[in-house]
Structure 1
Amino acid sequence: MQKITTFLTFNDQAEEAATFYTSIFADSKINRINRIGANSSSSEGRVLSATFQLRGQEFFALNGGPSFTFSDGISLFVDCDNQQEVDELWERLSEGGKKGQCGWLKDKFGVSWQIVPSALGRLLQGDDPTKSKRVMEAMMQMTKIDIQTLEAARNG
């Protein structure tokens, strides 16, 4: 078991979110759905929590009620290998949500994600600050990050 687990508190969509996220990422699975038992004063059978894995990373989802909401102050960062992965994750995670700037989006549950190609770090680094500046300026104009456009900006 990993030492630190991302804990997501939903109103009443923990199971739906776990199912949605595990359908998007390869090598992912729902580990457990915990339901309220018969001895509870709450609705019997209602989902209380879910645990799931996305590419081996553990997550815990809780149905905590309407007083909990997500904030832009925290996001899930996905390091993508190529443009195809960026494109697929961008489209699937933003369904019913909101697309933002510079690879950021909010999914239909209000969770913020950063969908970023590994190439971005390489393109921003280097000995020529002018090239790095052009890459940064190009990225700041994007919603979904496009590697080819960033490479063209770097090359001038």
Structure 2
Amino acid sequence: MNTMQKIAPCLWFDHQAQEAAEFYTSIFKNSKIMSVTRYGEAGHEIHGRAAGSVMTVEFELSGQHFTALNGGPMFRFNEAISFQIKCETQEEVDYFWEKLTANGDDTAQQCGWLKDQYGVSWQVVPIVMFEMLGDGTSEKSQRAMEAMLQMKKLEIDTLKRAYDGVF
């Protein structure tokens, strides 16, 4: 049976594809680098990369397949695309937040969003947050939303207290 994932994100890097894939696979459990392809002489006039340098890295993070491409400096990541990490516990939120903000930028982000050292945006979100915001209109949900909007890294206890109206 073919287990190839039908849709997989391709992340465009200048020249850090392998470094980034190694960084990400060191953070997420059940992750691995699956393959590395290299530029050859063919197409050098277009891609400008040295023969033998890394072109793509296929990797997997917790069962999700990705491709990292060394394509050059012309495209940069922005917040229009982000990856959500759904967390069961505060310890899990803290772990991913700490690992992904190392050498990254969490100063301009809020509501559980961060930008890692490569400029990739992530949302580190406790699963309970989806439940609290579920109906979107109850007083409980509105209080949880207001609390979330005041946070950078999401704190489950603070969100639960707001949701329950316990200040």
TM-score bracket for the superposition, by shorter chain length: over 0.9
Paired AA for residue 70 in structure 2: N
* Equivalent in 82, 104, 113 of residue 113 of structure 2: 104
The correspondence for 2:39, drawn from 36, 41, 55, is: 36
Deviations 1:59-89 (A, max 9, x none): 0010000001111111011111111111000
Whether 1:68 aligns to 2:75 is: yes
Give the partner amino acid of 2:118. F
Gap regions ≥5 residues in structure 1: none
Question: Which residue of the other structure, out of 3, 6, 24, is the alignment partner of 1:3?
Answer: 6
TM-score normalised to the size of structure 1?
A: 0.94
Shift of 1:34: 1.2
**Consecutive aligned runs of 4 or more in structure 1 exceeding 4 Å deviation:** 38-41
Whether the 8 Å CA contact 2:136–2:142 is kept in 1: the answer is: no
What letter is aligned with 1:23? S
Q: 1-side partners of 2:32 and 2:93: how far apart?
A: 21
Q: Which residue is 2:97 aligned to?
A: 90
Task: Report the residue type matching 1:51 in the other structure.
Answer: E
Partner of 2:133: 124
Q: Show structure 2 runs of 5+ residues with no match.
A: none
CA–CA distance in structure 1, aligned partners of residues 137 and 85 of structure 2: 27
Q: What percent identity do the matched residue pairs reach? A: 50
Structure 1: how far apart are the matches of 2:16 and 2:104?
A: 15
Deviation, 1:37, is: 3.7
CA distance in 2, matches of 1:5, 1:136: 31
Question: Closer, same or farther in 2 for the Cα pair 1:128/1:37, shift >3 Å?
Answer: closer
What residue identity is the alignment partner of 1:58?
H
3-state SS in 1 of match to 2:125: strand
Aligned residue identity for 2:85 = V
